[in-house]
Amino acid sequence: WLNAQEKMQARKKICGSFKQNNYVYLLSNVLICGECGSKLSGTSCKSHSKNAQTIYYYECGGYKRYKNCSTKKVRVDDLEEQVIDYLQKYFTKKNIELLEKWIDYHAEMFNRDTEQEIKRLKKCIGSLNIKIENIVNLLIDTPSDSLKTKLTELEQERAKIQVEINAIQNSKQNPDKCKELKKFIKKLENIRALDRQNQKSIIEYLIKKVQIQRKSNSELLITIISSLKKILLIQNDIDTLDFSQ
């Protein structure tokens, strides 16, 4: 019995130590068990081979708590590969080029609209300056509390508009930011080459849910519910634009 207890404690130490590492589980926030509806979370353990390699799993929360779900544990490798394969077919070279065009076009349109709004607001400030100057001239000749109140109101309105102008100017699309965004999008041609944290971010942005259900000991049913309509909407948007000019 004592020997059995020692082995159990040793196994807990081995498995527990790997839960504390920095391994990134790509599907930890989107993976759902199709049988019991529980989330699956990442876990790991040492193999019993001589090399004692670390094996990473997703473990069903229902099985972990109640031991009543046949999904149990699923190895990370094959499951994540299928999700990345699913995404990768959308990030073709052609679609990447379309996304880059979409970024350039919308940055240009946004900045153009921004400039027009800034011009409009500066005209408002110009009109306020004239009113403020007129009131100041009146106050020189005929001091009045009502005029002073009106002057304060106009100066406050001018200051408010200036704050708005500053905010709009700060929101303009910086060419360097667009360049960085396009540089990152270019990397999506090969999602596997990205580090796991970037892969996880992409998956969580484009995938709503990955549902798995065990059909047999060796067969899993995987259902991917995605937000890839975001890409399709962008593509439809691009199809309506004329980039020839």
Lowest-confidence region among 52-56, 168-172, 235-239? 235-239
Give the span between the Cα atoms of 200 and 26, in whole angstroms: 5
Instruction: Please provide the average confidence, as pLDDT, over all residues in the chain.
Output: 82
Report in angstroms the alpha-carbon separations of 64 from 17, 21, 38, 71. Answer: 18, 20, 10, 10
* Overall pTM surpassing 0.85 (yes/no): no
pLDDT tens track for 136-169: 999 988 888 999 999 999 999 999 999 999 999 8
CB 44 within 8 A of CB 15: yes
Give the span between the Cα atoms of 165 and 159, in whole angstroms: 10
Q: Tokens 């019995």 sit at which residue?
A: 1
Q: Tokens 């990370």 sit at which residue?
A: 76
The CA-based dihedral angle spanning residues 225, 231, 235, 237, taken in that order and rounded to the nearest 10 degrees: 100
Q: What is the pLDDT of residue 219?
A: 78
pLDDT tens track for 45-86: 887 777 778 899 999 999 999 888 988 899 998 899 999 998
Could you tell me how far CA 5 lies from the centroid of its own chain? 46
CB 106 within 8 A of CB 172: no
pLDDT tens track for 27-43: 999 999 999 999 999 99
Could you tell me how far CA 211 lies from the centroid of its own chain? 21
pLDDT tens track for 94-131: 888 888 888 888 888 888 899 999 999 999 999 999 99
**Helical ranges in 67-187 per DSSP H:** 76-88, 93-141, 145-171, 175-187
Give the span between the Cα atoms of 126 and 105, in whole angstroms: 32
- Residue 67 gets the label, from left (phi > 0), alpha (psi -120 to 50) or beta, of left
CB 203 within 8 A of CB 26: yes
Counting Cβ atoms within 10 Å, is residue 32 exposed (0-12), middle (13-18) or buried (19+)?
A: buried
CB 207 within 8 A of CB 227: yes
